[in-house]
Structure 1
């Protein structure tokens, strides 16, 4: 590449990008201008007034001059927090430029109010504001920084209120995937500036003072903004740390609002607030709509707040007063009693739901104990079905005649109707299906799909339904076969067709039992020790999947390299590929395995006539036979 091309650059890029304008540097100050700025910095009102009056008469001093650091008279007065000096400079006609932004940046509230009043007097409709007229190349703040944005960055409550009272607004940021003309143009011209502008907008929106002053429902606004910041953190990986920090700030604001609750009634009003329904009154049923919303938006600190946990504990143990203060033995006795009597409680609730016991069963803790007891009983039935308990019961406690009859029945392998326990399992499954259907109807399909445990329940129910359908098909199919040939009922299971519906049903039943037992993990989530382990287990499984993916790639790369090496160093491999894998896709992993199998074959078949040598090379012969099959 020649030096001419190197210095000229790419002509195509020169056509699309305009050269950057160089900033106009401050000119050298005269002696009078230096005295003027020094007097402003020292707060010498008399000298400043005299110099400005003389400047108006003789025009020997530039009132808007700046020092080597680009600081004008107003900036120096604001830095010194000299309100009288700021007022004097404004009255004497000094250009404000970005003085309002400087005052907001210094959180000089009185100067901000004064500059706002001055801006209202001099601003004309349709013209840019004073801070927008500053040269962008020398300006301290970028074009996207407005007074309200900067005040929100500083989180200054007084300044934000001043601006909002005067009608200042903050436009909603465009979506990160927005394809409007403005977003495309800004991103094309300067992608970094476009990204920083969005970050500045969200930094302003995340201001607690701005949310408190501008939102009618600050907690809901904090939830929604937190979720939006979470999505932005994953969409813009370059600014992920900044967006996550803003998300933590918004979450802390919601928690700080919760800290202001001073009684259970105030806390209940907050957690039961729903903009679509009437306000919550004391004594009504708690729907906890705001708490459910916090769970949807993954507000962990909000949900884990001590005030909320105390209220939830009081609701949870309602109906069993003082349960947490009882001894361990008393707790076990209460749980054991409910577990044993749960069939009685369920029947009583169906008969008389409004009696005292029926009302007690509506309490969360009692409802959980009865539900857990019922599910454990269901698992017990599954164990009995898997172990064929009715057969073992007759064999252990039955008479000789009953045992003989059982042995005769067990010879009938096909055409058997479902047992009593299997019918009981089917009734339970119908109850599970009704429970899931009711949950979808009440909460909606979206809320239902958010809970990953519902996928396990759906899979379990689907497998049990498939088992029932296959057993019905198998029963009618086997009954028809027995009518044609009665001896078919005695065919041993090992001689059945591999795809017999009953065999498939038994395999699906075993898989459904696994999912049923897995639901126990969900029941233990209320335990403060076992519950967090579920989160650790879930994250560990994700890490294992990632590691296995990398391991598979490394293994595949090794196999490919090994194949290339063997292909170049051994001519036998090509023969094996032509003879044994002509009809396959020449997968490199399979070729590698077949190569080593061929080596074992050569070690085995060494006797005259191509016979295997089982005495001296039995191991190689066994490997070849097992692989060749």
Structure 2
């Protein structure tokens, strides 16, 4: 996973040694400055000699700091001098930030030495003194996870170094702290070492990242990049499955496959819910889905498109016969073959087609509310759909429910109830004519309105079955993606149209100042100066009342 590759080691060392602007220089004795220069240059013999000769010198301390605030152990760690680090620790030097530097520069040998050394009592739980160049929330495990270094991270976890905690960032307004936390917990090495179910953890993190992105106004791009990297990792992880049985185990997420016949695929449903498209589109997942869809009929899967079309058409024609056979022998091999997904899909598609045709016939009747064969078929069909959804929810939990089915069933049931109720009232009341009246509160009218909405929703719901088509399916997906953008453009167009409409309204509804009536009025005034003829402005411009009143004010 190249996106998680660590930075170049030499460049990292150069960046660390050029941090002099981060702290103020401090006055040190020439002996301390010489000691730090020797440590930095890696002259081990002279360093050991200085430690032996100046042990009792009060002007010298092994924990002296350079102008950047780094100790001798930290300088040796940055240089990667393993022997120097061992020598300094043997003479009682404090760890300081050395473990953080070693992890950040991915120096595994030095990490082992530092972890085997006993930490001083005045250090924090991460081995960092109170004055640190690293942020307070940075820990060795966090840095190792950022570098995605599996071996170093395993060493730290084996030594029980503290893990990043969600409680430290939950509710925090510091985006940097949140970003560092999620960079660590979304690291592939961290997930593999700390999670019993990497897929479950990845789906949970994806959901958290989606919530964060939806709440942030700025800075969401970094979190979106983490989500993309996590999706790529999960898609690559499923490729390690060696056979369809292992893929099935992963997708079922520990469920008992004997009870659910391998069809629930809980993890796959979660991947769809959180938007892991690459995981769902992975070849291993698609191969397993095809095997499950054509279960008991593998010959259809490996047939040509013409043979597949003919097989599906034959299954649709035999739908009534297959339905009766399944009711008679549901537990036999024939019944299990009929219950396979490809047969159920063909029968479902044919059933929906007949249902839509019955609604079309009801709408084509001159008196659609009259008791007819089409209306009776429609009522029984609605009751059957309600029973089917109740059975799905009972056997497969609420995952089988969705908004389209809810809206569709509500419209059908409410419309059917209004129609049947209105017909019963009209039949029992002999004083009313047996036809639709002009009363808008007639329940039959409400039933017709709801039925019209149900027809639209049903036809739209039928389109979802065309997703399996290799030609129509991609077009439907593209159309669904464009729906949101279409509504956004419609908002812009509506605002512009309203603006133009308002402007034209002002333009064409304003009174004409130089109209013919004004000319006639002023000509009459000039001619009647020496006469006793009296007239007003309204006598000439009675069609421009507002403007006339405005003129008469002056």
- Calculate the TM-score normalised by the size of structure 2: 0.80
Compared with structure 1, are the counterparts of its residues 302 and 507 closer, same or farther at alpha carbon in structure 2 (3 Å cutoff)?
same
Contact 1:176–1:232, Cα closer than 8 Å, also in 2: no
Q: In structure 2, list runs of 5 or more residues that go unmatched.
A: 1-20, 514-541, 545-554
- What does residue 306 of structure 1 align with? 283
Mapped pair 1:350 → 2:327: yes
Higher mean C-alpha deviation, range 224-233 or range 470-479: 470-479
Compared with structure 1, are the counterparts of its residues 83 and 523 closer, same or farther at alpha carbon in structure 2 (3 Å cutoff)?
same
Within 2, Cα distance between the matches of 1:95 and 1:464? Answer: 76
- What does residue 40 of structure 1 align with? 39
Per-residue CA deviations over 1:492-527 (Å, capped at 9, x if unaligned) read x7x744544444433433332222222221110112
Mapped pair 1:218 → 2:198: yes
**Which residues of 2 match residues 406-417 of structure 1 at below 5 A?**
417=370
Within 1, Cα distance between the matches of 2:361 and 2:126? Answer: 84
Displacement after TM superposition at 1:23 (Å): 7.9
Displacement after TM superposition at 1:569 (Å): 8.1
Contact 1:98–1:134, Cα closer than 8 Å, also in 2: no
**Which residues of 2 match residues 368-379 of structure 1 at below 5 A?**
368-379=345-356
Q: 1:435 aligns with which of 359, 384, 388?
A: 388
- What does residue 466 of structure 1 align with? 414
- What does residue 269 of structure 2 align with? 292
Per-residue CA deviations over 1:62-116 (Å, capped at 9, x if unaligned) read 5334444444432332222111011111122333211111111111112112222
* 2:166 match: secondary structure: coil
Mapped pair 1:239 → 2:235: no
Contact 2:263–2:292, Cα closer than 8 Å, also in 1: no
- What does residue 143 of structure 1 align with? 136
Displacement after TM superposition at 1:355 (Å): 3.9
Compared with structure 1, are the counterparts of its residues 46 and 384 closer, same or farther at alpha carbon in structure 2 (3 Å cutoff)?
same
Displacement after TM superposition at 1:261 (Å): 1.0
- What does residue 160 of structure 2 align with? 167
- What does residue 128 of structure 1 align with? 124
Contact 1:219–1:254, Cα closer than 8 Å, also in 2: yes
Per-residue CA deviations over 1:464-506 (Å, capped at 9, x if unaligned) read 333333333333443355x448xx45x8x7x744544444433
Per-residue CA deviations over 1:545-594 (Å, capped at 9, x if unaligned) read 223333444455666777889999889xxxxxxxxxxxxxxxxxxxxxxx
**Which residues of 2 match residues 377-526 of structure 1 at below 5 A?**
377-388=354-365, 417-445=370-398, 447-448=399-400, 451-454=402-405, 458-479=406-427, 483-484=430-431, 488=433, 496-526=438-468
- What does residue 518 of structure 2 align with? none
Within 2, Cα distance between the matches of 1:345 and 1:281? Answer: 25
**Which residues of 2 match residues 166-315 of structure 1 at below 5 A?**
166-174=159-167, 178=171, 194-274=174-254, 285-315=262-292
Within 2, Cα distance between the matches of 1:60 and 1:177? Answer: 47
- What does residue 485 of structure 2 align with? 543
* 2:219 match: secondary structure: helix
- What does residue 52 of structure 1 align with? 51
Within 2, Cα distance between the matches of 1:540 and 1:130? Answer: 50
Compared with structure 1, are the counterparts of its residues 333 and 567 closer, same or farther at alpha carbon in structure 2 (3 Å cutoff)?
closer
Within 1, Cα distance between the matches of 2:146 and 2:440? Answer: 71
Within 2, Cα distance between the matches of 1:380 and 1:197? Answer: 59
Looking at both structures, which has the greater relative contact order when contacts are Cα pairs under 8 Å and sequence separation is at least 6? 2
Within 1, Cα distance between the matches of 2:222 and 2:86? Answer: 38
- Calculate the TM-score normalised by the size of structure 1: 0.71
Compared with structure 1, are the counterparts of its residues 52 and 565 closer, same or farther at alpha carbon in structure 2 (3 Å cutoff)?
farther
